[in-house]
Chain A
């Protein structure tokens, strides 16, 4: 078991190294460009393994797109231009932060609506409980309770 775990760990570690090597195989003359490249490759999604960024993914397409990204960063394309390049080919899905527009309102604002709704319900429930605890029994009800209790004791 432990040997197996060690081997798995080593394999995973070497895999991580390989992936890292994949990212940093690009050389930049300017650290600013490198920072932009890193930043952008973490904001773009790999369409092959959909829960990975371009930076993380080992897929062939991600490598090709990193090359394109490298070329564009070196040509001093703006972030806007680079994102447009990706979106015009692969759609909004390629962006990890989807743009705010009519079709994404639910995605962006839905959680806040749910929080407000939850708070509203919570306040209502708390108030109701509060009201119940302060209610006092009418004289009539009090008598009924006493009668019932007395009844029970007799049995």
Chain B
């Protein structure tokens, strides 16, 4: 009977199936929680700018072009790792980078930018109490949102942006969005 031929292999088959599922599980990053904000309009806000407290940065500034919105803070170690890449990216003039300076001290943030090689942001919004961060579902700095021309959130990158993630994931999305009318 065919049944008895398969029988000795059943434990092996069960093991293989489990190994495949667990293997897939290992490649996933549990810190990457899918954002419910994808394809939603960016949450409304208007905050004073980091360098010019009398001027504001807000949702209205995102309309009319594809842009990146990067959440950062001087107390965030991974931001330091990401910063040189953002500096390079800003020089390329592909897409404007806006910043959300999250739960930081104004002086610390300004000093941090000088200390680590410059300011890659067109402007940074100064979110002292992190309330805007909550509306944007921020839970681990750095995070980068890709916004389309209408200001809709189209992609969220969690963790530091680097050359690899930029080339493989973010740049194609930016280009596709820029092609949209």
Chain A positions 40-56 with a Cβ under 8 Å from a chain B Cβ: 47-48, 50
* Shortest Cβ distance from B137 into A: residue: A89
Known A65-B134, A90-B137; further 8 A-B contacts with Cβ < 8 A: A48-B139, A61-B130, A64-B130, A64-B131, A88-B36, A89-B37, A89-B135, A91-B36
**CA of A85 to CA of B36 in the docked complex: distance in angstroms?**
11
**CA of A47 to CA of B33 in the docked complex: distance in angstroms?**
9
B11 at interface by CB-CB < 8 Å: no
A130 at interface by CB-CB < 8 Å: no
Task: Give the number of residues in A that approach B within 8 Å (Cβ atoms).
Answer: 15
CB contacts (< 8 Å) of A87 on chain B: these are 36
CB contacts (< 8 Å) of B103 on chain A: these are 60
Known A64-B134, A65-B134: A48·B140 in contact at CB below 8 Å: yes
Instruction: Name B residues whose Cβ lies closer than 8 Å to a Cβ of A.
Output: 30-31, 33-37, 103, 129-131, 133-140
* Shortest Cβ distance from A68 into B: residue: B134
Whole-angstrom distance between the Cβ of A5 and the nearest chain B Cβ: 32
CB contacts (< 8 Å) of B140 on chain A: these are 47-48
* Bitwise interface map of A from 62 to 73 toward B, beta carbon under 8 Å scored 1, else 0: 001100100000
Interface pair B130/A90, CB less than 8 Å apart: no
Chain A positions 53-103 with a Cβ under 8 Å from a chain B Cβ: 60-61, 64-65, 68, 87-93
CB contacts (< 8 Å) of B34 on chain A: these are 91, 93
CB contacts (< 8 Å) of B37 on chain A: these are 88-89
CB contacts (< 8 Å) of A88 on chain B: these are 36-37
Whole-angstrom distance between the Cβ of B148 and the nearest chain A Cβ: 20
CB contacts (< 8 Å) of B135 on chain A: these are 89
Instruction: Sample 6 A-B pairs with CB under 8 A, ordered by A number.
Output: A50-B31, A64-B133, A89-B37, A90-B33, A90-B137, A91-B34
The 7 closest A-B pairs by CB, nearest first: A47-B139, A89-B137, A91-B36, A93-B33, A90-B137, A64-B130, A61-B139
Known A47-B139, A60-B103: A89·B33 in contact at CB below 8 Å: no
Interface pair B36/A90, CB less than 8 Å apart: yes
Interface pair B33/A91, CB less than 8 Å apart: yes
CB contacts (< 8 Å) of A92 on chain B: these are 36
* Shortest Cβ distance from A64 into B: residue: B130
**CA of A88 to CA of B130 in the docked complex: distance in angstroms?**
17
**CA of A92 to CA of B103 in the docked complex: distance in angstroms?**
25
**CA of A88 to CA of B37 in the docked complex: distance in angstroms?**
7
